[in-house]
Amino acid sequence: MRLATDGGKRTVPPVVGWAVVDQDSDRTWSGTLDPDFTSNQAEYYALINAMKIAIAEGVTEILIVKSDSELMVRHVNGEYKCRDAKLIPLLAEVKELATHFEDFLLYHVRREQNERADYIVNQMMDGYISMKEISRS
C-alpha cells in the first residue's frame, strides 16, 4: 500500500488537522485534532492514522508512506534524535505500529510532491473553520 500524509495547523481560528491519501486508489481520510496540538504533532497523527488505516485494510507486507515533514521522517528513520516531550510518545507509537508490517518505508518529499495530501488537509481545515463561523451566526 502506498500512502501520502500531511498535517497542518491554523491559528485563527485555531484548528489542527491531518490527512491521508491512498496513492493507488485516491481514497482519502482526514480529521481534526485538539487545537492546542502543534503542527509537528499533526504530522505524527497523520502518519499514525495512515498506519492504522493500512492495518485495518489488512496490509501486512509493505507499507510505503511519503510525507513533507522532514523532521518527522528523520525522527522515524533514526536520522534525528527526538527530544520533544510531546513527540516522544508519538514516535514510540509509530515504532510499535511499524511492527505490524514486514517492511515499512517512510520517505520525505517536498510539499510540491505531496500536493494531494496537502490539498485534503487544507480543505478539511477550511471546511472546519467555515462550520465554526456558521455555528456562531
For 80, left (φ over 0), alpha (ψ -120 to 50), or beta?
Answer: beta
**What pLDDT score was predicted for residue 129?**
65
**What pLDDT score was predicted for residue 128?**
73
Position 16, amino acid: V
pTM of the model: 0.92
Structural domains of the chain, with CATH: 2-136 (3.30.420.10)
Give CA–CA dist 107/8, Å, rounded: 18
Question: What is the average pLDDT score of the chain?
Answer: 93
**What pLDDT score was predicted for residue 48?**
98
**What pLDDT score was predicted for residue 137?**
46
Question: Residues 63-98: pLDDT tens digits?
Answer: 999 999 999 999 999 999 999 999 999 999 999 999
- The mean pLDDT of 106-127, rounded to a whole number, is 93
**What pLDDT score was predicted for residue 130?**
64
Residue 53 pLDDT level (bands cut at 50, 70, 90): very high
Q: Which residues contact 4 (CB under 8 A, 6 or more apart)?
A: 20, 21, 23, 65, 66, 67, 109, 114, 116, 117
